[in-house]
Chains A and B, each alone.
Chain A
């Protein structure tokens, strides 16, 4: 749905706040306009020698009007800006929820910084658009109108006209100034970043600078850049500082005219002294909004651009999603993936039929990543997949949990096509450990538990023990409470990989997918962990991608893929080794250079 639709949905539920706020804009401005009028009235009463009680009454009214103007102004700002904050919060949630539905293709297309900018700054821009900008413009217009109306009543149409007349010109002036100011502002930014890059460059190359005794030369270059920044700051202020004095001078001129004109009206008995003093109050009222309105219009424009940018992402369609009506169908069915449910598809528990796959968006002439793979995996079996780098092992695993759209009829789980299983049911049944073990900025405990229902601390410890990382964790000063991830401590690659596996294990998955996730430990440890896992698995089906033949030997069967992404051979380890085929060749190669492969790290 586009941003507008979401905003409208929010508006439908909260419109009264906005509306009341807008009504109060009128009220507060009306009261504010009474203040100069009442001051004038009090002055007239004083001049005419009226009793003090009348003067005090006028003063009391003035105080009340001032308070009412303040209270209503506060209220409308609270209602309207609160409404906008609410809209911002709402949009931010909508945006994040939408991000959660998008698949890998989206995250490849847009980089993280771009997504965050839209999720924070652009949504922020929308808030400003409806708050500061929208109501700000309204408030300015109402203020102009009421001040002019009061001027009209007190000092006649001519003076009201003269007071209002400069507004459009001033606004045009401010709007014309804006792009220039923006340009100069960006000059400053450019100058600042040029300076920062120079410092950065200099610090990185400080040894070279010193080796060639170029300290003075470098200082001179920096001096030039610093001078540039100085000049651009001055250039900006020369424009920016114009606005205030010009408004001031224009309205000073208006008041000067009024002194001459007003005194004549007073002489003619058309105007009182109070009306005269009130006039200055009205001018003061008008000046503030003139300065603000220019900024408000700019914010409105920025807001529109933000909406367009946000739409680009909100209208991006998830490439993997449940087909319509699937959830209802599923609710009536007995979940064949649940633990302990008998299945007549046990011997083809996971079934690949001529699976051929190309990543979306790649040119048609590129050969597919996976080609014609047909394999039946028996329930409870452990299958190892191995093969050269780039043969599609990881792609195969990601397709099993439908990170990419899977072609109809090529992958079935528990006798059902994966497209006929709701994503959440499928993924709940699968424990998938991808190659790049990503941990969140949270405690180790919460990273392993990862919101799994009914998982106790002991379950977490058990899972950690199963991958022999429990002892490492308890050695940390804060044990399982140690924060990891971007903002936490740095774990070794092996520790991170094992915590990531524990995260998958703790949910007792029916199907476990391990994507070469022990590459950072040595071959011996990998074997130990993998054989330890079997006890923990308890009848679950496991697919283990590994590039170490020794690790593959532990599986019930081994699937070797060839470089074209097709099946090279499939069978038990002993069978394949006896056949002296692809697996055997791989084993020979690794036996010769075991040490090299251990040090190689994660495969790309």
Chain B
């Protein structure tokens, strides 16, 4: 949404808009520190202690030099006290540095955990439309890589920015307190250092991006040619391909050298500049020592501060670039969190008690996934309580959509859907879906054991009930045959079971929730005929007196239904039971049926 908005804005206002948005995102990210106020305070406290001890260390040495060593006043007791002070400060710095880093990581991870789980649970509550619009790969990236990008922000950048910022200010204050003239002189160098690091970063970033792109090209080339090596060999093109590869490789070498140069410059350059500053400091202010207006100890302390000052400045400017990419990720995450348009409220709807009778009525229902492309056109039907109904028709005729509407995955654009004579939207969604079980075309097993896959973690299903459901679904036998039975851990996507077995487990899952309305969406497609028959008879028993809706390709499975709806291009073109539909000479059903009988022989 926001991306589209920015496109419409003229250039001048756009940068302003982006700037504003960035600031908003940043503020919002900072607000998350509120989730763990204690840890935030602790991390800040220890960061302050690190700063204080870092500033104090040169001060101790300065005292030692000015009061004892320079004037050759060797009071060993006093010197020992200073030595003790030095080790105390060092210990403080080391220990609080450690505590600070651990607290900070824990804090950052806590916030990320919060963001991650919020995001995940929000995604759970988004309607099917959201999943239609967004490829699952993209959503996955939001929950994983984009959150990881934020990790840098929380675990490093935010606190470090504060800590280093305070350190710089604290050192500058100390320096001014020690000697304003020297301090002013040192401050003049700060913008120079900052400018150099920013410039360096910009160049380095550009090179690193080029290196990365080239490397992925080389990777791609290698992958492609490993796969297509046969073609290269058949056409005797080894030499030419090697030339192409060498060219890329050499380009990578040149860029790599550039990278080496940049890497070799950064830290040594900062060290050299600080040393040059120290040399200049001595050259420029040395004479004040002779005049007695400057103590050697203070001069020494300044040399220490100069070394310490440049480090955080370089670090801060370096993190600026990392922060920028993290903000982009943050925007993406927030875009999903802010998506309320597609949200389904599981708690909405006031009707939530009792079991359903199972009367389903569609009144002139029109539905389209995308505007204008009608998938259902003016569909009306009634399924009476306890009736077994079947929908048949070609692929794309709208059968599955009918099912999706009954479970309220989508709201129809026109018309009404009534369950037990009451509009579907008045039911509490959670309750509605609990009362209505669908066995779907595409079977899905979760990681976890078989028991979990049947109960899906609902505590109101006892073990006996679970096993009863498994028996009814005809899968108890093969589950018992496993050495760990119902505790058998399902491999990824259930690949250790045949498609048919997976289908039976998902049957058991549907039965275990004791629905008042059962729907099968081509659920028996991958079960062999033998098992299908057994299952069918058990199902009939189970569903006696309950409303049952079946979608099937194999027409043999719908013959016994009370009512059959034949769908074509989003419309119901015929309805009636098997006998009456077969009796009509030109009925589409009759054609479909004769075709399918021939096909299965």
Contact = CB atoms under 8 A, between A and B. Distances in A.
B135 to A, nearest CB: 9
> Interface size bucket, A side?
35 or more
Interface string A97-119: 10111111001000010011001
Contacts of B128: 206-207, 210
Contact of B136 (A116, A203, A242): A203
B444 A208 contact: yes
A234 B307 CA distance: 31
A248 B94 contact: yes
Contacts of B98: 241-242, 244-245
Given A43-B296, A96-B242, A438-B227, A77 B236 contact: no
Given A60-B283, A116-B222, A100 B242 contact: yes
Interface string B536-552: 00000000000000000
A413 to B, nearest CB: 15
B61 interface: yes
B109 interface: yes
Interface stretch (A51-59, A385-393, A547-555, A585-593): A51-59
Contacts of B80: 260
Interface stretch (A212-220, A296-304, A461-469): A212-220
Contacts of B229: 99-100, 102, 107
B260 A205 contact: no
Contacts of A214: 456-458
Given A211-B438, A219-B120, A73 B300 contact: no
A contact patch SS:
helix
B220 A73 contact: no
Given A203-B139, A273-B296, A487 B260 contact: no
Given A85-B253, A215-B121, A234-B105, A195 B144 contact: yes
Given A42-B286, A82-B260, A487-B220, A427 B76 contact: no
Contacts, number: 356
Contacts of A507: 235
Contacts of B290: 46, 49, 52
Residue with the highest number of chain A CB atoms closer than 10 Å, among B76, B79, B89, B513: B79
Contact of A96 (B245, B253, B260, B442): B245
Interface stretch (A225-233, A341-349, A470-478, A533-541): A225-233
A497 to B, nearest CB: 13
Contacts of A206: 128, 131
Interface in B34-82: 61, 64-65, 68-70, 72, 74, 76, 79-80, 82
Contact of B120 (A199, A440, A441): A199
> Interface size bucket, B side?
35 or more
A222 B121 CA distance: 9
Contact of A59 (B232, B286, B434): B286
Contact of A249 (B90, B235, B442): B90
B235 A427 contact: yes
A200 interface: yes
Interface in B190-236: 215, 218-220, 222-236
A240 B13 CA distance: 46
A241 B101 contact: yes
Contact of A237 (B101, B124, B224, B442): B101
A210 B409 CA distance: 8
Given A227-B113, A440-B228, 9 more contacts: A46-B299, A78-B261, A97-B242, A99-B229, A204-B493, A212-B434, A276-B65, A427-B234, A434-B234
22 contacts: A69-B271, A74-B265, A88-B253, A93-B246, A93-B249, A100-B233, A195-B143, A202-B120, A204-B136, A207-B440, A213-B346, A214-B457, A219-B117, A222-B116, A223-B117, A230-B112, A273-B65, A427-B234, A432-B234, A451-B237, A487-B220, A507-B235
Interface of A: 35, 39, 42-43, 46-47, 49, 52, 55-56, 58-60, 62-63, 65-67, 69-70, 73-74, 77-78, 81-82, 85-86, 88-89, 92-93, 96-97, 99-104, 107, 112, 115-116, 119-120, 192, 195-223, 226-227, 229-230, 233-234, 237-238, 241-242, 244-246, 248-249, 252-253, 255-257, 259-260, 263-264, 266-267, 273, 276-277, 280, 284, 401, 403, 423-424, 427-428, 430, 432, 434, 438, 440-441, 450-451, 485-487, 503-504, 507
Interface of B: 61, 64-65, 68-70, 72, 74, 76, 79-80, 82-84, 86-87, 89-91, 93-95, 97-98, 101-102, 105-106, 109-110, 112-113, 116-117, 120-121, 124-125, 128, 131, 136, 139-140, 143-144, 148, 215, 218-220, 222-238, 240-242, 245-246, 249-250, 252-253, 256-257, 260-261, 263-265, 268-269, 271-272, 275-276, 278-280, 282-283, 286-287, 289-290, 296, 299-300, 303-304, 307, 346, 407, 409, 429-430, 433-434, 437-438, 440, 442, 444, 446-447, 456-458, 492-493, 506, 509, 513
